[in-house]
Structure formats: structure tokens, C-alpha cells
């Protein structure tokens, strides 16, 4: 690992904890920062992140598990293993299992390479309610979430209100949503590009990569110095690599 990568990982780790602190359902349960969503049981909205260098004891782990159980949520952690290497073996001893890791990828303004000039596709930054609803619908469908509720639209509206952005790709003729994504409100020059979703029948046309590059470019213009995303290995990784992103670390999920 290069010193540059280590610095980037440290910044992303701090960002993950700071982002939790801004959530309504956040709690600090040393040595963990915890977010629990009252409207959703989705794992991505309910998890804990340890502080860098954490070495939780049995009592601290039991308290964390109890908190999730009382809120009827599955105990789960998301964090950068390299920044807290002593956490994982203690979690495994407590009955957790490690999920497949996600690659952390980033880019520079000069490395962005995705082509936004796709036949029949128009691009916009979604801000109005019907635009945000369209973005939520295509994201939910892409991730296998049935239906779109008011809370989904409110989350996207909150992203925009707090300084992030939601990108929407639409069919130029019909106005139908084809793909969407977002970058979260930046903190200390760091933002996450996330929730990239493309309608199943139009995948393979470069829409996902173009949405990602559009968001990264907009984030750089707004003063962000470290946009990053998380992706599974395989096809998604290659899509983002073609858009100009490179790997600099990984994030692990650990569930009980």
C-alpha cells in the first residue's frame, strides 16, 4: 500500500464516521459509530463503523449486538479493515461472518473517460420531486427493491439539500428514466458516489459509467478532492475502470 493510498483510506474512514454522525438515527457506542434507520431494515441503512485502531472487548461487542437486537435490526458493520485490523477477529469470535469485500475506487479530473454523448440519452441533475422520484424508482429496480415510497424520495431530496447531487439519465424522446446515481454531501473534501442504477433493458450501453463520470466531474467542480465509490469485483469494477476510476483499497461488511 502506498502512502497516498493510506492517506486516502484514512480520509474515507473519517468520512464514513462523520457521515453517520449526520444521520437522524446515529449513536456513539464506543468504539463504534452506529446508524439505525427507523423507516428501513435495509442493511445499507443500518450498520456500525469502528474508530480507527479500535480493539473492542467482549462487553463492547455485546452492547453493540444488544442495541441492534432491541431495534430489530441485524447486527452489521461496514468499515475499512486496514484502519482497524483488530476488529475482524473479535467479530468472528462473536459469531459474525465476513461478506465479500467491496473495492474502493477513485479518480482524478484527468482520468475521467466515460462518454456522455450516448444516442437518445439526456442527462440532468435531479432536483424537482418528480425527477427525484424517477431516480429513486430506477435505483430501487436496479437493486431489487420493490416499490418506491416517500422515504426514498425524501432521502434523495436530503442529499441535494445538504450539498450532494442526484444524476438522472432519461430517454430523450419519451422522458423515461434510464439510469441514476448520486454523490453524497461532501465532508472535508470527500464524497461517495453511490446508488448507481441502470434499467435492465438498457444495460451495456455505457449509461452506468457515464452517470458515474458525470457525478465525479460535478463533484470536482464543486471543490471535492476525493470522490470515491464502492463496487463488487467483476463487471461493475470494469465499468468504473473504463470510466477512469482505479482501486485504492477495500471496505468489508461483517454480519451476525
128 and 193, same domain (yes or no): yes
Q: Beta strands of 41-183 (E only): which ranges?
A: 47-50, 76-79, 97-98, 102-106, 121-125, 165-171, 177-183
Q: Is the pLDDT of residue 23 over 90?
A: no
pLDDT > 70? residue 1 = no
**Residue 213: partners with Cβ closer than 8 Å, 6 or more residues away:** 112, 113, 114, 116, 243, 244
Residue 196 burial (CB < 10 Å; 0-12/13-18/19+)? buried
pTM score, whole prediction? 0.89
Question: Given 98, 130, 158, which residue is the final one in a domain?
Answer: 98
Position 98 scores a pLDDT of 96
> Is the same domain home to 128 and 225?
yes
Residue 129's pLDDT is what? 96
Instruction: Give the tens place of pLDDT for each residue, 79-111.
Output: 999 999 999 999 999 999 999 999 999 999 999
256 domain-assigned: no
Any domain includes 204: yes
- For residues 154 and 67, what is the distance between their CA atoms, to the nearest angstrom? 26
The 10s digit of each residue's pLDDT in 116-169 is: 778 899 999 999 999 999 999 999 999 888 889 898 999 999 999 999 999 999
Last residue of a domain, one of 98, 113, 136: 98
Residues 126 and 219 in one domain: yes
Residue at 149 is within a domain: yes
134 and 241 together in one domain: yes
Residue 241 has a CB neighbour count (10 Å cut-off) of 17
Least confident interval from 24-28, 53-57, 64-68: 24-28
Residues 40 and 128 grouped into a single domain: no
Which range has the worst mean pLDDT, 7-11, 113-117, 182-186? 113-117
Residue 255 lies in a domain: no
Q: What is the mean pLDDT of the chain?
A: 93
149 in the same domain as 64: no
Q: Using the 3D structure, point to which of 35, 67, 98 is the last residue of a domain.
A: 98
Shared domain check, 151 and 81 = no
Could you report the per-residue pLDDT of 215-249, keeping only the tens digit for each?
999 999 999 999 999 998 666 778 899 899 999 99
Q: Which domain holds residue 157?
A: 121-229+237-245
Claim to verify: residue 209 and residue 171 sit in the same structural domain: yes
User: What is the number of domains present in the chain?
Assistant: 2
In a domain, 134, yes or no: yes
Clarify whether residues 222 and 128 are in a common domain: yes
Residue 39 lies in a domain: yes
Mean local confidence (pLDDT), 56-74: 96
Query: The domain that contains 180 carries what CATH number?
Result: 3.40.630.30
Amino acid at each position: 500500500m502506498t502512502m497516498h493510498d493510506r492517506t486516502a483510506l484514512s480520509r474515507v474512514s473519517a468520512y464514513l464516521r462523520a457521515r453517520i454522525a449526520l444521520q437522524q438515527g446515529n449513536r456513539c457506542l464506543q468504539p463504534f459509530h452506529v446508524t439505525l434507520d427507523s423507516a428501513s431494515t435495509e442493511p445499507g441503512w443500518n450498520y456500525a463503523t469502528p474508530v480507527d485502531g479500535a480493539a473492542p472487548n467482549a462487553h463492547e461487542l455485546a452492547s453493540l449486538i444488544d442495541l441492534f437486537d432491541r431495534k430489530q435490526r441485524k447486527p452489521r458493520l461496514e468499515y475499512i479493515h486496514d484502519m482497524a485490523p483488530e476488529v475482524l477477529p473479535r467479530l468472528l469470535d462473536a459469531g459474525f461472518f465476513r461478506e465479500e469485500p467491496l473495492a474502493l475506487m477513485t479518480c482524478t479530473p484527468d482520468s475521467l473517460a466515460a462518454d456522455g454523448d450516448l444516442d437518445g440519452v439526456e442527462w440532468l441533475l435531479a432536483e424537482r420531486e418528480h425527477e427525484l422520484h424517477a431516480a429513486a424508482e430506477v435505483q430501487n429496480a436496479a437493486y431489487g427493491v420493490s416499490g418506491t415510497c416517500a422515504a426514498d424520495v425524501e432521502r434523495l431530496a436530503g442529499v441535494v439539500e445538504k450539498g450532494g447531487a442526484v444524476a438522472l439519465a432519461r430517454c430523450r424522446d419519451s422522458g423515461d428514466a434510464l439510469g441514476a446515481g448520486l454523490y453524497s454531501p461532501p465532508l472535508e473534501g470527500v464524497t461517495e458516489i453511490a446508488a448507481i442504477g441502470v434499467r435492465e433493458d438498457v444495460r451495456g450501453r455505457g449509461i452506468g459509467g457515464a452517470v458515474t463520470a458525470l457525478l465525479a466531474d460535478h463533484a470536482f467542480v464543486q471543490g471535492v478532492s476525493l470522490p470515491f465509490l464502492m463496487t463488487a469485483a467483476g463487471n461493475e469494477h470494469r465499468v468504473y475502470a473504463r470510466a477512469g476510476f482505479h482501486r485504492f483499497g477495500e471496505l468489508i461488511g461483517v454480519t451476525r
